[in-house]
Amino acid sequence: MSNLNDLIRRLGGLDARQAEWLHLLVGDWQILSDLAFADLVLWVPDGEGFTAVSHCRPSTGSTVHHDDVVGRHIPEGRRAMLEETMASGQIRRSDEPRWTGSYAVREDLVPVVFEGQPIAVLSREANLGTARSQSRLERNYHGAADDLCAMITRGEFPSTSVPGYRRGMPRVGDGMVRLDPDGDVTYASPNALSCFHRLGVQGNMNGRNLAQAVSDIIEPHSLVDETLPVVLMGRAAWLTEVESYGVSLTLRAQPITEHGQRRGAILLVRDVSEVRRRERELLTKDATIREIHHRVKNNLQTVAALLRLQARRSSSDETREALGEAMRRVATIATVHETLSQTIDETVDFDNVFVRVLRLAADVASPGDHPTTKVIGSFGFVGADVATSLSVVLMELVSNAVEHGYDGQGGEIEIEARRDDCDLTVYVRDSGSGVTDAGPGTGLGTQIVRTLVQGELRGTISWNPREPQGTEVMVHVHLCNRATTDGE
């Protein structure tokens, strides 16, 4: 199915600014659909009639079109009415209902005007099959919808300052308030009354200045959004939030204007207290997790410092070497925890971690010319459990290549990472003395590598000779569904 932009471009006849105006209308017409209890269909001239380029269903009532109408041409019997609507620039209200299947539809046609010129027609279609009593709520909803439709015919709706979508953004069903030009309440829906009562505004709200009523109950010394008075007075189509004593309300204003003069406003309100409470809980948990990683990193760095101190005081070369290797392994794990302490996610950019791992591995280089390292490809983001084990594995492999593959001679070590969605394959290549016929050896480093790859990473590892000399170590890890696999 084509989207709005594709359909407008294909139909032609509208310039870029006119097309952008229709995008703004479609982006903000849910409020009109909900107030009118009606489907909205946007019809654009196509040279032979009109084509439906967008469709909106109400969340407050039954829909008229159960099937998608976008891309359809206007039936020939309705074409003349749309042409007359564009020519007159006035709203055309149907005298008789139009029957669709087993129920009647009341259709109003609204010309969409941009800079004084009608560029499209908005069809407002209400399902009369589900009759409603003319309650005070419905009368106010319809009155607000009529005001917005009149603004469309004058090119005053939508507003170019309409807020973008934000989590918790209110809709008509959440609560609606009508304001007069002075910001006094002329009507508040039951849901809106409930929201403001929870905030602390008690009693009847009709006739009260909303901005004054809210400012009277705001918690002392609390932070207040600077846009709050403007929204509560209905002076701009902005979105704001107010909080007092643990209750949070999101407020969105839509001014009602007539030839540039403000005649009142529609205010939508939603209680987002539970949403904000959960967000604060998540932020607290994230901060706690980061602090834990930070403390683990500090403790591991302390252990590494103690191992380094002990190695310096040892008179045995073998002991100093063993303690040095242990120190580097602990420091490698600390590097991962340091990275995790700086992010809210339990994933790390392993390319950044590996740069520091290489620096640690270079510390084992024997006196003489140090081999150079070359990194090809990208590791991407990996989970914390993978990052810790993988960093230790690669540190051991690179250290082994530096220490045993070159024996103090210059050379190059190549590390290549190949990431294919969930599969990560890493090659560590050197051109040193190479593996022997007996294999990679049975030292502690090799045992650590095998245990981590096969046990912790659930992966595979292999050592292969290179031509004319050297070794290639391949590590393969599957990164997806690890939680399920580990749970088993």
* Category of 285 on φ-ψ map: left (φ > 0), alpha (ψ -120 to 50) or beta: alpha
Tokens 């096969």 locate to 454
Closest CA to 107 of 197, 57, 182, 40: 40
Q: What is the mean pLDDT of residues 303-308?
A: 82
Mean pLDDT of 273-297: 76
Work out the number of other CB atoms within 10 angstroms of the CB of residue 202. Answer: 10
**Please, which pLDDT band fits residue 327 given cuts at 50, 70 and 90?**
confident
Dist CA 83 CA 92 (whole Å):
11
Are the beta carbons of 125 and 41 closer than 8 angstroms? yes
CA distance linking residue 465 with residue 441, whole number of Å: 14
Highest mean pLDDT among 191-205, 368-382, 383-397: 191-205
Name the more confident of 387 and 425. 425
What pLDDT score was predicted for residue 132? 57
Of 67-81, 153-167, 399-413, the poorest mean pLDDT is in 399-413
- CB-based contact 159:237 (threshold 8 Å): yes
C-alpha–C-alpha distance, residues 327 and 325, integer Å: 5
Domains of the chain: 4-132+141-154 (3.30.450.280), 176-273 (3.30.450.20), 344-478 (3.30.565.10)
pLDDT at residue 407, as a whole number: 54
Lowest mean pLDDT among 37-41, 92-96, 185-189: 92-96
Q: What was the pLDDT predicted at 482?
A: 58
Question: What tokens appear for 109 in the block?
Answer: 């046609």
Dihedral of alpha carbons 70, 74, 80, 81, sign: negative
The pLDDT, as a whole number, for residue 442 is 57
Residue 138 contacts residue 187 (beta carbons within 8 Å): no
Q: What pLDDT is stored for residue 113 in this prediction?
A: 96
Whether the CB-CB separation of 333 and 391 falls below 8 Å is answered with: yes
Token pair, residue 51, equals 């084509």
- Pick the more confident residue, 257 or 464: 257
Task: Identify whether the C-beta of residue 13 lies closer than 8 Å to the C-beta of residue 45.
Answer: yes
Give the dihedral sign, CA 25/30/31/34.
Answer: positive
pLDDT of residue 141: 95
Q: Which is higher by pLDDT, 353 or 367?
A: 353
Rounded CA-CA distance 399/329 in Å is: 11
H or E, element range at 398? helix 384-400
Range of lowest pLDDT (27-36, 94-103, 316-325, 461-470): 94-103
**What number of residues does the chain have?**
488
pTM for the model stands at 0.64
Asked if the model's pLDDT at residue 74 lies above 80, the reply is: yes
**Do the Cβ atoms of 235 and 263 come closer than 8 Å?**
no
Residues 231, 240 contacting (CB under 8 angstroms): yes
Q: Is the peptide bond before 158 cis (omega within 30 degrees of 0)?
A: yes
In percent, the amount of the chain with pLDDT more than 90 equals 43
What was the pLDDT predicted at 483?
47
Nearest to 449 by CA among 283, 342, 309, 325: 325
pLDDT tens digits, residue range 245-274? 889 999 999 999 999 899 999 999 999 988
Which amino acid would we find at residue 384?
A
> Mean of the pLDDT values across residues 387-401?
83
Crossing angle of helices 384-400 and 317-340, in 10° steps, is 150
